[in-house]
Structure 1
Amino acid sequence: MRKFTAILLVAVLAVSLTIPAMAVPTQVSARIKDVAKVQGVRSNQLVGYGLVVGLAGTGDSNKSVFTVQSVANMLKSFGVMVSSAQLQSKNVAAVMVTANLPPFAKSGDSIDITVSSMGDAKSLQGGTLLQAPLRAANGQVYAVGQGALSTGGFSASGGGSSQQKNFPTVGNIPSGALVEREVPMTFADKDKGKINLALNQPDFTTANRISEAIDQRFGPITIAKDPGTVSINVPYYYSDNLIGFIAAIEELAVTPDTVAKVVINERTGTVVIGSNVTIDQVAVAQGGLTVKIGQTTNVSQPPPFSDGNTVVTTDTTVEAKEQPAGLIVLPASANVGDVVAALNAVGATPRDIISILQAIKAAGAMHAELQVM
């Protein structure tokens, strides 16, 4: 027993010597414009329905009734009367067009659009989007899209085999839509002389630090209303230069605070750990058990001129192998970086590390939020 204890202490000491010294996390400053935005300045989503033409037989089939009806209605608007039953829409595909209308976009500006097939088209490669109105949630048209698609992928088949890269049923048209109507933006209460900053990640500490940084620069003109909002009184000498005032605020440096969090993606085996994650004293054992079961078929042949029969028998073998577990003891207030470094030292895989971190959290020894994607 003493010999085993001595070996275990030597192993733990060897693992601890392989753990690099973890530096104290440094506080990184960021501009206010990178952690907050002015309330009222926002983009708007647009959506529309259209037709993509010019496809090399990779468009919708006649099973997509809405495509045939759309082609017939389009031709009717040009004075061409044709029955839906007479149309073959292999070179045409019905699509949904989506875009984001940026704030302060003016009439005549160009915006990017995304075109996605909604029928059974095989590919949109080489197609051209016909004029498609883009509407907002209020039903009004704010932009019109048209142009040649860029799919960034391909799909080819022949002889019973096929090959595909990316998604050829989705394409982009850079600057493919023209803005027809502006969206009015109100980002300041001119009557009260106030503007509000909205934090990208609401946090009490970060909101207070933003308020203090602005007050140090312009005097006591702010108040943190809640973790996500900082209200600012515009100084009188900036009343006619509101854009300059906002620009001066956005350039101020602030140190945002973060919540201790460990993010785990079990599908890819990815672990992302915050610098301020800590754990209590904990012991971790890592090992694995492998069980293999095999079968061997034997044939029993009787001697010549005997009355015996040929018999087939099966022998089953069971083999169990357990890898030696590496035991790691970490002191209190160690961070997760120490845990990961120690687990890497004993040969733990990323998925082993994920399981161990989940177990440490379940034991109540990890002081952080564990988010599993």
Structure 2
Amino acid sequence: MKLINSILIGACLFLASQTANGQRIKDLADVAGVRPNQLIGYGLVVGLPGTGEQSPFTEQSFKTMLSNFGITMPASLKPKIKNVAAVAVHAELPAFSKPGQTIDVTVSSMGSAQSLRGGTLLQTMLMGLDGNAYAVAQGSVVVSGLGAEGLDGSSVVINTPTVGRIANGALVEREVQSPFTSGDYITFNLKNSDFTTAKRLSDAINDFIAGSARALDATSVRVNAPRDAADRVSFLSTLENLEFEPDTPSAKIIVNSRTGTIVIGSEVRLLAAAITHGGITVTINETENINQPDAFSEGVTAATNQSIVDVRKDDSRMFVFDPGVTLDTLVKAINDVGAGPGDVMAILEALEQAGALRGDLVII
């Protein structure tokens, strides 16, 4: 206990001496074993105002639910239910969640239901990957989407009416055991793997407690920690607020081909290169001509189409880059030639193929 107190006192002095340019460990790394878990279940939403579905698996689920209450329906009887929908229910169980706490759930239609608005989810078990039930969901579904349909078949849909949420809709029934309190050390995993950042993280912790941290690879840094759970919490609370300066990321250019968005990292450099930019514009105009017959002829009025095709080639422009050109020069040169997003993508791909681009070109 004296060791922990001395660590906390030293932490106050150490934190006070840190620069404002650093970032906290808790913002750059996660603690191994402290993680959420995904849960999923299958259930029924009832009480829909005629926007449910009539499908075989919905009817089967409905009959199974009734049988659980001791109600047996004749095999020949096929219920016509329009106020019931089969749904998938999923949620995320946060780390250290205890039985009796609540979590939010998302409810999504699995069949042909038109909307879940106004429905109520019946008791649904939420299972983990190990097949055990960790939570039970139930409650009124809140839907932000809206759908309307006219008698002539026309319809309007706003957002997604077949997906809803239930705030605090699931009750945790089982705790997931965490390895946080086991072993003689804790491990920080960087959110973005980098050898230099891992080394700086290890150095920052060793500057605080000499010899306690060791970088295992580009992601993980292992730190000796107290065995007592309460002491370990206090110890981690101090460590996660230590600040250090992460390394700059590797040079990358991210191109979204669907939206035309291009993000160029500040570390991107170019070798000596010459680029020419030009384009061809093709314009097609369609006009309709009306031909009238002579006054004493037997002809009829006729319409003919006339197409005018104009091809215009823009003046090609060339600009030269010296070795080591930075982001600012690259952007200015591209803007000067009036290149659009599509042209910029073609230029960047050509530069990479030519080996003149010092950075990773990532197309998403």
Alignment CA distance shift 1:326-1:107 (3 Å): same
Taking the aligned partners of 1:119 and 1:50, their CA distance within structure 2 comes to 12
C-alpha deviation, 1:180, in angstroms: 0.3
C-alpha deviation, 1:264, in angstroms: 0.9
TM-score for the superposition, normalised by structure 1: 0.83
CA deviations over 1:165-188 (Å, ceiling 9, x no partner) = 111111111111000010111124
Which among 203, 215, 240 is matched to residue 250 of structure 1? 240
SS at match of 1:334: coil
Deviant stretches of 4+, over 6 Å: 295-315
> Equivalent residue for 2:127?
135
> Equivalent residue for 2:270?
279
CA deviations over 1:271-296 (Å, ceiling 9, x no partner) = 12222111123233333201235566
Alignment of 1:217-366 (within 5 A): 217-234=208-225, 241-257=231-247, 258-293=249-284, 317-366=308-357
CA contact (8 A) 2:226 2:232 kept: no
Alignment CA distance shift 1:83-1:364 (3 Å): farther
> Equivalent residue for 1:71?
62
Taking the aligned partners of 1:348 and 1:28, their CA distance within structure 2 comes to 37
SS at match of 1:152: coil
Taking the aligned partners of 1:251 and 1:174, their CA distance within structure 2 comes to 31
SS at match of 1:205: helix
> Equivalent residue for 2:95?
103
CA contact (8 A) 1:47 1:136 kept: yes
Alignment CA distance shift 1:152-1:315 (3 Å): closer
SS at match of 1:119: coil
CA contact (8 A) 2:181 2:229 kept: no
Taking the aligned partners of 2:146 and 2:301, their CA distance within structure 1 comes to 59
> Equivalent residue for 2:17?
none
CA deviations over 1:243-272 (Å, ceiling 9, x no partner) = 111111111112223121111111111112
CA deviations over 1:317-342 (Å, ceiling 9, x no partner) = 44210122343333321223422233
Aligned length: 342
Letter in 1 for 2:101: D
Calculate the aligned-residue CA RMSD, in Å: 2.8
Taking the aligned partners of 1:214 and 1:299, their CA distance within structure 2 comes to 86
CA contact (8 A) 1:340 1:353 kept: no
Which among 26, 29, 52 is matched to residue 36 of structure 1? 29
Q: How many percent identity over aligned positions? A: 45
C-alpha deviation, 1:208, in angstroms: 0.5
Gaps of 5+ in 1: 1-26
TM-score for the superposition, normalised by structure 2: 0.85
Which among 110, 114, 122 is matched to residue 114 of structure 2? 122
Taking the aligned partners of 2:310 and 2:243, their CA distance within structure 1 comes to 63
Letter in 1 for 2:313: E
C-alpha deviation, 1:123, in angstroms: 0.9
Taking the aligned partners of 2:60 and 2:301, their CA distance within structure 1 comes to 72
Taking the aligned partners of 1:186 and 1:288, their CA distance within structure 2 comes to 61
Taking the aligned partners of 2:326 and 2:21, their CA distance within structure 1 comes to 19
Taking the aligned partners of 1:201 and 1:42, their CA distance within structure 2 comes to 16
Alignment CA distance shift 1:171-1:239 (3 Å): closer
